[in-house]
């Protein structure tokens, strides 16, 4: 066989082997060529890693006091509205009793002002005025007599027939009489003003002032009633008690947290999706969350897609993944079964939506 024929035979053999290669090999070669050009084959879903998060609620009293009762401990499940703690209210109850007594007093004053003067009160005031006026007349007579004595003893001393002591005693009686006259006149003036006030009735400003004191007393009562109510603490949400921060007998400060409740029923997964897949995600679309334990996964829905790129958080397992630019996606999960725990690593499988 000539050299030319030999070459033709080799070519025919090669052609025969090539024509018998399966189509899979051709697809692999094409895929490799696309990858070499930086083009990835299309996918209908993406898997993203992250971890479970849940809402932590600190339960604190608005008031301070000694902790009398703490009905929960770490790991207990509570429902919303369940009483979990109670503080001492002895001081607040005493203050409430005082506030109620003060309110009764100012309310009685207001009622008297509104009712006005009684007839017997007016008559009594008229009698007091008459007595005071009579006292003025009597004391003025005493003063006139004392003044006459002083003048008489002055004349006797001038004629050297009187006593200096008698004259000094007369001056003392006169000064005392002057004081009594002034006191009687003051009583007349006060009695006249009181009688005029009774006859005129209560002034508007007096009634308004009494009404304001009643309102202030009511506010004080409400303040102490609220303090007593706030001393009983109820769970604001359903969940698991994950921290106990106080013990029975401790004196706790206002707004100091006593326990932490974690709402695992409404947990979510924060996962991090590579940038190329983000345009094909939609709020509200379904997703499935998987744990390391395997299983069918938990259904969820996308409730948040970040608008800012970031590097994968440090708690993602591999250095290669941490170097990627990703977007945070929040997957809300119905976790009433309690499968998911806060901080648990998970993966979310998210179907990709059409671009248009």
d(CA 56, CA 257): 12
pLDDT of 12 reads 40
Quote the tokens at residue 330.
């929040």
CATH number at residue 83: 2.40.50.100
Task: Note the residue count of the chain.
Answer: 356
39-53 CB burial, b ≥16 within 10 A, e <16: eeeeeeebebbbbbb
Give CA–CA dist 205/211, Å, rounded. Answer: 10
Is residue 133 included in any domain, yes or no? Answer: yes
What CATH number is given to the structural domain containing 317? 2.40.30.170
Query: Per the structure block, which two tokens stand in for 313?
Result: 């958080």
The packing angle between helices 164-200 and 119-158, to 10°, is 160
Residue 48 near residue 355 (C-beta atoms within 8 A): no
- Pairing verdict, β 65-70 and 83-87: antiparallel
Q: Based on the domain organization, do 48 and 65 belong to the same domain?
A: no
Looking up tokens 């600190």, which residue turns up? Answer: 58
Identify the sign of the CA torsion 147, 152, 155, 159: negative
Sign of CA dihedral 226, 227, 233, 235: positive
Question: Tens place of pLDDT for every residue, the chain, 356 residues?
Answer: 444 444 444 434 434 433 333 332 322 333 333 334 343 434 699 999 999 999 999 999 999 999 999 999 999 999 999 999 999 999 999 999 999 999 998 888 888 777 766 677 778 888 888 998 998 899 999 899 989 988 888 888 787 777 788 888 888 888 898 998 998 899 899 888 888 877 766 677 888 888 999 999 999 999 999 999 999 999 999 999 999 999 999 999 999 999 999 998 889 999 999 988 999 999 999 999 999 887 788 999 999 999 998 886 655 555 555 557 899 999 999 888 888 999 999 999 999 999 87
Same domain assignment for residues 217 and 154: yes
* Whether residues 199 and 163 fall in one domain: yes
| Residues 5 and 110 both lie in one domain | no
What domain range is 73 assigned to?
Answer: 60-87+230-259
> Does any domain span residue 356?
no
As for how many domains the chain has, the answer is: 4
Both 83 and 30 in one domain: the answer is no
| Rounded Cα–Cα distance for residues 227 and 96 (Å) | 10
Q: Can you point out the beta strands (E) in the chain?
A: 45-60, 65-70, 77-78, 83-87, 232-234, 239-244, 251-252, 257-274, 286-291, 298-305, 310-311, 325-333, 345-351
Residue 15's pLDDT is what? 41
Do 119 and 69 lie in one domain? The reply is no
Q: Which residues pair with 286 in a beta bridge?
A: 301
The residues that bridge with 305 in the sheet, in sequence order, are 329
Distance from chain centroid for Cα 2: 102
Domain shared by 202 and 249, yes or no: no
Give Cβ neighbours of residue 346 (< 8 Å, ≥ 6 apart).
49, 50, 51, 52, 269, 271, 289, 290, 291, 292, 340
Q: What gap in Å lies between CA 93 and CA 128, rounded to an integer?
A: 45
Same domain, 75 and 44: no
Q: Record the tokens describing residue 85, joined without a space.
A: 């703690």
Question: Are residues 139 and 253 both part of a single domain?
Answer: no
Tell me: do 214 and 254 sit in the same domain.
no
- Say whether both 75 and 48 belong to one domain: no
């Amino acid at each position: 066989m000539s050299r030319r024929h030999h070459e033709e035979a080799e070519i025919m053999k090669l052609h025969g082997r090539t024509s018998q290669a399966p189509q899979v090999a051709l697809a692999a070669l094409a895929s490799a060529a696309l990858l070499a050009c930086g083009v990835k084959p299309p996918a209908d879903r993406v898997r993203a890693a992250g971890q479970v998060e849940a809402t932590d609620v600190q339960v604190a009293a608005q008031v301070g006091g000694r902790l009398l009762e703490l009905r929960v401990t770490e790991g207990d499940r509570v429902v919303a509205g369940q009483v979990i703690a109670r503080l001492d209210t002895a001081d607040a109850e005493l203050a409430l009793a005082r506030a109620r007594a003060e309110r009764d007093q100012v309310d009685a004053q207001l009622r008297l002002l509104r009712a006005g003067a009684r007839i017997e009160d007016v008559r009594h005031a008229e009698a007091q005025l008459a007595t005071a006026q009579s006292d003025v007349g009597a004391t003025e007579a005493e003063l006139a007599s004392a003044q006459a004595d002083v003048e008489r003893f002055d004349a006797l001393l001038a004629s050297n027939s009187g006593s200096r002591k008698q004259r000094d005693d007369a001056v003392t009686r006169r000064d005392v009489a002057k004081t009594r006259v002034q006191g009687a006149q003051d009583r007349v003036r006060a009695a006249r003003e009181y009688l005029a006030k009774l006859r005129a009735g209560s002034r508007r400003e007096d009634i308004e002032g009494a009404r304001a004191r009643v309102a202030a007393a009511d506010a004080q009562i409400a303040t102490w009633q609220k303090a007593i109510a706030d001393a009983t603490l109820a769970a604001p949400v359903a969940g698991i008690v994950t921290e106990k921060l106080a013990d029975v007998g401790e004196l706790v400060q206002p707004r100091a947290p006593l326990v932490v409740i974690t709402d695992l029923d409404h947990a979510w997964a924060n996962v991090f999706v590579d940038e190329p897949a983000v345009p094909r995600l939609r709020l509200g679309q379904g997703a499935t969350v998987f744990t390391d334990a395997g299983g069918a996964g938990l259904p969820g829905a996308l409730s948040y897609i970040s608008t800012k790129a970031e590097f994968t958080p440090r708690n993602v397992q591999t250095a290669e993944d941490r170097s990627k630019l990703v977007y945070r996606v929040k997957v809300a999960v119905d976790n009433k079964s309690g499968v998911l725990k806060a901080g648990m690593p998970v993966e979310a499988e998210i179907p990709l939506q059409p671009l248009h």
